[in-house]
């Protein structure tokens, strides 16, 4: 890792499109997205996150290479509704399993599913047309399948992912958020955000570096 | 800097054994694991293994083409043994997959933190094994061009699958299993793909990993949902892994054939599947660990834990073999009793005793601590367990079908060269996929490994020793 204070403009991936003006790290030419503060240990960001929350900021986030135990609570993140959505997906799967098997094997009803379809009374060894025990495996499998697909999809959508472009990802220093550093980002749109004041505040939390992020 | 422990196999209940050796900083963990896929060239052994695997994978493809062009007569499947090698191989491969899900889901729910070093490639192994498994019933259909009949697709014949058949349950069970395993694997890999993206030095790598990382940036708001989603997926995969091999066992247990029609089959199959899967994890982990120097992550303690699981599940399988015999005798059914006596002492006795010695007798060596900690011993035992578990499926399927109720229709199954090459080819496909995975993807879950390091505990300075609460068994 280069020391950003001794090198010229950080050679990040956005630099190809930028004019070749030597810039200080964190110097913003375009619109300001927010401030980035770097911490070295999970304990340090834990304390800092408490203080940022107490200071009343709303538009801020922590970025860590792994889930730091208890940091979501320290930030005041409310429990996600994901489990309920997954339950909904699972129930949909169960109902699909029942209806699919009942319609295709135990009825002769006409219906329309993109193309005209017809159920078929499937008589097997004189057994009842519809008896639940034989249909449980497929109902179970579809419940799990729908829940799992729903779970992953909802998790990503609630997090607004995929989002390939993000101001944070342009910052050279931030790249260590997936390696071994811990970051707090306060966005400029926060009502309490003042460039100078917020910068001083972040420094006072024990950040090893504070930089501005370009939108 | 604290002193780093290098031996973690001690059994001292008053202190937690560290699971990552020789690393006291997160950065070195990232560096070590990423260097495997970032190296300009993989080790020479990788090229040799890849060439051999690719050759066998090509044989697999050629055999399948030959089969499609000629018909299922190229196999040894013959009246009365209509389910020969293809179904044996199917059950074998699907069983291999089970260890991956067990490690990733069940051990996660049990808070077994040592799983983090092995879960990534165990899950990869699951996916590749299920790909191999899924191929066999597919090519076994005979008329492959109508294989879409197994799915409930509206068609001009107004024809639907028969949902009361275990063979159709299989389609849903295996399909769901593959999809859920793939999702679980991918979700687990998201943060690590982001790491590789952030470290990328070339545009191509940044783009490739960047697209698959979906813009992950380690936001705690995302982590919060991610951890919840991961827990839910583990909770979903746990009953799923138990159900898949149960459903596979229904293919047999629901039939009337003596030797198949037993209620012990679902738990017996699941235990056997986990047993064989762990043996395969070891078979892959030991060379990978040596080749890329991953001894700090896949420590002796990890290997020993897996050997213990092999011992337990192997003994469960042994118990099932005995119980089958007892039940056959106790039932008083002469057909049932004949089927089992014939397995052990009939024309396939050689296969039966290979199975018993490899699966039940040999793993008992793991009662001894030196055997659990000796790389050469565990590697040989695991290879033999793989062999034994393949023979278990062979014994169950072939002996039962070859001699059932009517002596006039008895027969003896002999595989053809196509059978043998297809089996060898499926190993080639499996290894090819696995080696590609080792080359291009993070083979150890970096984010999860960092999470279990003592340094990851944010309360580490608050009174108790670092590592007290966060390092696990």
Q: According to the model, what pLDDT value does residue B405 have?
A: 87
Q: According to the model, what pLDDT value does residue B469 have?
A: 41
Q: According to the model, what pLDDT value does residue A26 have?
A: 54
A66, A147, A161 ranked by CB distance to B216: nearest = A161
pLDDT, tens digit (0-9, with 9 covering 90-100), for B19-43: 888 777 888 888 888 888 888 888 8
Which residue of chain A is at minimal alpha-carbon distance from B162?
A105
Share of chain B above pLDDT 90, in %: 55
Counting beta carbons within 10 angstroms of the beta carbon of residue A111, is it exposed (0 to 12), middle (13 to 18) or buried (19 or more)?
A: exposed
B376 pLDDT above the threshold of 70: yes
- The average pLDDT across A18-33 equals 62
Q: Closest Cα partner for B324 from B396, B273, B244, B394? A: B396
Q: According to the model, what pLDDT value does residue B313 have?
A: 93
A3 pLDDT above the threshold of 60: no
- CATH of B26-456 given 1.20.1260.10, 1.20.120.1760, 1.20.1630.10, 3.40.50.1820: 1.20.1630.10
- The average pLDDT across B252-278 equals 90
Query: What does the DSSP assignment read for B420-446?
Result: HHHHHHHHHHHHHHHHHHHHHS-SS-H
Which residue of chain B is at minimal alpha-carbon distance from A76?
B221
Share of chain A above pLDDT 70, in %: 87
pLDDT, tens digit (0-9, with 9 covering 90-100), for B69-83: 998 999 988 888 888
Q: According to the model, what pLDDT value does residue B212 have?
A: 93
Minimal Cα–Cα distance from B406 to chain A, Å?
23
H or E stretch at A185: strand A182-187
Q: According to the model, what pLDDT value does residue A28 have?
A: 63
Peptide bond between residue A162 and the one before it cis (omega within 30 degrees of 0): yes
Counting beta carbons within 10 angstroms of the beta carbon of residue B447, is it exposed (0 to 12), middle (13 to 18) or buried (19 or more)?
A: buried
Which residue of chain B is at minimal alpha-carbon distance from A134?
B164
Mean pLDDT check: name the lowest of A9-13, B89-93, B211-215, B383-387: A9-13
* Cβ atoms within 10 Å, residue B63: 23
Residues of chain B with Cβ-Cβ distance to A91 below 8 Å are none
B323, B264 in Cβ contact below 8 A?
yes
Q: According to the model, what pLDDT value does residue A6 have?
A: 40
Q: How confident is the model at residue B392 (pLDDT cuts 50, 70, 90)?
A: very high
Question: Looking at the complex, does the CB of residue B440 fall below 8 Å from at least one CB of chain A?
Answer: no
Counting beta carbons within 10 angstroms of the beta carbon of residue B188, is it exposed (0 to 12), middle (13 to 18) or buried (19 or more)?
A: buried
Separation between Cα atoms, residue B417 and residue B420, nearest integer Å: 5
Q: According to the model, what pLDDT value does residue B351 have?
A: 94
Counting beta carbons within 10 angstroms of the beta carbon of residue B471, is it exposed (0 to 12), middle (13 to 18) or buried (19 or more)?
A: buried
Q: According to the model, what pLDDT value does residue B102 have?
A: 84
Q: According to the model, what pLDDT value does residue A27 have?
A: 60
Yes or no, beta carbons of A65 and B26 under 8 Å apart: yes
Q: How confident is the model at residue B471 (pLDDT cuts 50, 70, 90)?
A: very low
Q: According to the model, what pLDDT value does residue B116 have?
A: 87
Question: Looking at the complex, does the CB of residue B217 fall below 8 Å from at least one CB of chain A?
Answer: yes
Yes or no, beta carbons of B225 and A159 under 8 Å apart: yes
B25, B221, B232 ranked by CB distance to A180: nearest = B25
H or E stretch at A33: strand A32-39
Yes or no, beta carbons of B191 and A65 under 8 Å apart: yes
Ordered alpha helix ranges (H), B254-333 = 265-291, 300-331
* Cβ atoms within 10 Å, residue B50: 18
B57 pLDDT above the threshold of 90: yes
Query: What does the DSSP assignment read for A68-116?
Result: -TTHHHHHTPPPPSHHHHHHHHHHHHHHHHHHHHHHHHH---EEEESEE
Phi, psi dihedrals of residue B418, rounded to the nearest 5°: -65, -40
Give the CA angle between residues B203, B207, B209 to the nearest 5°.
120
Q: How confident is the model at residue B472 (pLDDT cuts 50, 70, 90)?
A: very low
Residues of chain A with Cβ-Cβ distance to B176 below 8 Å are 141-142, 144-145, 148
Mean pLDDT check: name the lowest of A92-96, B294-298, B416-420: B294-298
- The average pLDDT across A19-37 equals 69
Separation between Cα atoms, residue B174 and residue A101, nearest integer Å: 18
A114 pLDDT above the threshold of 50: yes
Chain B from 159 to 198: CB within 8 A of any A CB = 159-164, 166, 168-169, 172-173, 175-176, 179-180, 183-184, 186-187, 191, 194-195, 197-198
Separation between Cα atoms, residue B232 and residue A146, nearest integer Å: 13
Question: Looking at the complex, does the CB of residue B222 fall below 8 Å from at least one CB of chain A?
Answer: yes
Yes or no, beta carbons of B199 and A179 under 8 Å apart: yes
Highest mean pLDDT among A10-19, B97-106, B196-205, B352-361: B352-361
Q: Closest Cα partner for B372 from B289, B305, B297, B317? A: B305
At B458, is the secondary structure helix, strand, or coil? coil
Separation between Cα atoms, residue A129 and residue A136, nearest integer Å: 15
Q: According to the model, what pLDDT value does residue A76 have?
A: 87
Q: Which residues of B402-440 are buried (b: 16+ CB within 10 A; e: fewer)?
A: bbbeeeeeeeebebbebbebbbebbbbbbbbbbbebbee
Question: How large is the C-alpha radius of gyration of chain B?
Answer: 24
Residue holding tokens 């006409």?
Answer: A110
Peptide bond between residue A197 and the one before it cis (omega within 30 degrees of 0): no
Mutual angle of helices B44-70 and B119-140, in 10-degree steps: 20
Mean pLDDT check: name the lowest of A7-16, B150-159, B171-180: A7-16
B251, A95 in Cβ contact below 8 A?
no
User: Phi/psi zone of residue B309: left (φ > 0), alpha (ψ -120 to 50 degrees), beta?
Assistant: alpha
Q: Between A and B, how many residue pairs show a Cβ–Cβ distance under 8 A?
A: 224
Yes or no, beta carbons of A124 and B164 under 8 Å apart: yes
At B94, is the secondary structure helix, strand, or coil? helix
Q: Is the dihedral of CA B120, B126, B129, B130 positive or negative?
A: negative
B379 pLDDT above the threshold of 70: yes
Q: According to the model, what pLDDT value does residue A185 have?
A: 92
Residues of chain B with Cβ-Cβ distance to A62 below 8 Å are 219-220
Q: Is the dihedral of CA B8, B9, B14, B19 positive or negative?
A: positive
Residues of chain B with Cβ-Cβ distance to A166 below 8 Å are 215, 217
- The greatest distance separating any two alpha carbons of chain A, rounded to the nearest whole angstrom, comes to 85
Q: According to the model, what pLDDT value does residue A170 have?
A: 84
Question: How large is the C-alpha radius of gyration of chain A?
Answer: 27
Peptide bond between residue B45 and the one before it cis (omega within 30 degrees of 0): no
Q: Closest Cα partner for B446 from B215, B233, B189? A: B189
Give me chain B's average pLDDT, please.
Answer: 88
Question: Looking at the complex, does the CB of residue B465 fall below 8 Å from at least one CB of chain A?
Answer: no
Residues of chain A with Cβ-Cβ distance to B458 below 8 Å are 41-43, 45-46, 68-71
- The average pLDDT across B199-205 equals 89
* Cβ atoms within 10 Å, residue A136: 13
Minimal Cα–Cα distance from A29 to chain B, Å?
23
Q: According to the model, what pLDDT value does residue A193 have?
A: 87
pLDDT, tens digit (0-9, with 9 covering 90-100), for B310-342: 999 999 999 999 999 999 999 999 999 999 999
Mutual angle of helices B375-394 and B265-291, in 10-degree steps: 140
How many CA within 13 A on the CB side of residue A91?
6
Q: How confident is the model at residue A23 (pLDDT cuts 50, 70, 90)?
A: low
Q: According to the model, what pLDDT value does residue B227 have?
A: 92
Q: How far is CA B85 from the centre of its chain?
A: 19
Share of chain B above pLDDT 70, in %: 96
Separation between Cα atoms, residue B147 and residue B138, nearest integer Å: 7
Yes or no, beta carbons of A137 and B220 under 8 Å apart: no
Yes or no, beta carbons of B229 and A155 under 8 Å apart: yes
- The average pLDDT across A161-186 equals 88
So where are chain B's domains?
26-456
Q: According to the model, what pLDDT value does residue B293 have?
A: 84
- The average pLDDT across A125-145 equals 91
B64 pLDDT above the threshold of 80: yes
Residue holding tokens 């190993």?
Answer: B427
Q: How far is CA B169 from the centre of its chain?
A: 21
Question: Looking at the complex, does the CB of residue B242 fall below 8 Å from at least one CB of chain A?
Answer: no
Separation between Cα atoms, residue B333 and residue B202, nearest integer Å: 70
Residues of chain B with Cβ-Cβ distance to A80 below 8 Å are 224-225, 228
Question: Looking at the complex, does the CB of residue B464 fall below 8 Å from at least one CB of chain A?
Answer: no
pLDDT, tens digit (0-9, with 9 covering 90-100), for B427-444: 999 999 999 999 999 989
A4 pLDDT above the threshold of 50: no
Q: According to the model, what pLDDT value does residue B366 have?
A: 94
């Amino acid at each position: 890792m280069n020391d950003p204070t001794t090198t010229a403009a950080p050679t990040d991936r956005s630099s190809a499109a930028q004019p070749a003006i030597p810039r200080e790290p964190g110097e913003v030419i375009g619109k300001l997205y927010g401030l980035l503060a770097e911490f070295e240990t999970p304990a340090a960001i834990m304390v800092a996150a408490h203080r940022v929350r107490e200071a009343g900021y709303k538009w801020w986030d922590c970025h860590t290479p792994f889930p730091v135990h208890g940091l979501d609570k320290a930030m005041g993140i409310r429990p996600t509704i994901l489990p309920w959505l997954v339950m909904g997906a699972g129930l949909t799967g169960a109902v699909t399993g029942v209806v699919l098997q009942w319609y295709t094997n135990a009825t002769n009803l006409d219906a329309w599913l993109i193309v005209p379809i017809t159920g078929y009374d499937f008589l097997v060894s004189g057994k009842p047309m519809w008896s639940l025990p034989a249909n449980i495996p497929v109902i179970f499998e579809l419940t799990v399948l729908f829940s799992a697909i729903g779970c992953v999809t909802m998790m990503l959508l609630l997090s607004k992912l995929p989002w390939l472009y993000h101001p944070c990802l342009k910052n050279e220093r931030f790249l260590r958020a997936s390696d071994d550093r811990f970051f707090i980002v306060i966005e400029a749109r926060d009502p309490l955000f003042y460039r100078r004041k917020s910068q001083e505040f972040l420094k006072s939390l024990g950040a090893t570096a504070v930089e501005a992020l370009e939108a | 800097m604290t002193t780093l422990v290098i031996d973690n196999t001690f059994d001292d209940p008053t202190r937690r054994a560290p699971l990552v050796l020789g690393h006291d900083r997160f950065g070195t963990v990232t560096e070590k694991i990423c260097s495997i896929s970032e190296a300009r060239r993989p080790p020479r052994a990788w090229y040799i293994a890849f060439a051999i695997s690719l050759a066998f994978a090509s044989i697999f493809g050629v055999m399948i083409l030959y089969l499609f062009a000629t018909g299922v007569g190229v196999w040894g499947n013959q009246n009365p043994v209509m389910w020969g090698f293809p179904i044996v191989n199917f059950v074998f491969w699907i069983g291999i997959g089970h260890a991956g899900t067990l490690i990733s889901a069940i051990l996660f729910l049990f808070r077994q933190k040592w799983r983090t070093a092995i879960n990534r490639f165990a899950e990869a192994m699951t996916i590749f094994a299920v790909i191999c498994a899924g191929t066999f019933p597919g090519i076994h259909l005979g008329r492959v061009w109508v294989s879409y009949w197994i799915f409930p697709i509206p068609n001009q014949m107004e024809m639907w699958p028969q949902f009361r058949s275990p063979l159709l349950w299989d389609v849903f069970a295996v399909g769901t299993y593959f999809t859920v395993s793939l999702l679980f694997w991918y979700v687990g890999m998201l943060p690590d793909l982001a790491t590789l993206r952030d470290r990328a030095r070339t545009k191509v790598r940044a783009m490739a990993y960047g697209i698959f990382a979906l813009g992950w940036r380690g936001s705690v708001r995302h982590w919060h949902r991610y951890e919840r989603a991961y827990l839910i997926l583990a909770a979903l995969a746990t009953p799923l892994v138990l159900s898949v091999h149960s459903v596979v066992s229904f293919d047999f247990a629901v039939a009337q054939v003596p030797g198949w029609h037993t209620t012990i089959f679902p738990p017996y199959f699941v235990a056997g599947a986990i047993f064989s899967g762990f043996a395969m994890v070891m078979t892959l982990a030991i060379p990978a660990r040596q080749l890329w120097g991953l001894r700090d992550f896949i420590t002796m303690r990890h290997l020993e834990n897996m050997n213990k699981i092999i011992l337990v599940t192997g003994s469960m399988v042994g118990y099932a073999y005995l119980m089958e015999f007892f039940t056959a005798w106790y039932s008083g059914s002469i057909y049932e009793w004949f089927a089992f006596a014939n397995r052990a002492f009939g024309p396939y006795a050689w296969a039966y005793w290979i199975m018993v010695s490899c699966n039940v007798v040999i793993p008992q060596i793991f009662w001894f601590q030196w055997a659990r900690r000796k790389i050469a011993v565990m590697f040989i035992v695991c290879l033999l367990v793989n062999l034994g578990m393949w023979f278990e499926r062979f014994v169950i399927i072939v002996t039962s079908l070859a001699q059932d109720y009517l002596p006039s229709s008895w027969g003896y199954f002999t595989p053809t060269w196509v059978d043998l090459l297809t089996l060898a080819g499926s190993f080639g496909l499996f290894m090819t996929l696995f080696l590609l995975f080792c080359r291009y993807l993070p083979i150890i879950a970096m984010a999860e490994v960092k999470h279990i390091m003592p340094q990851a505990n944010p309360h580490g300075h608050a009174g108790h020793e670092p590592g007290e609460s966060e390092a696990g068994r």
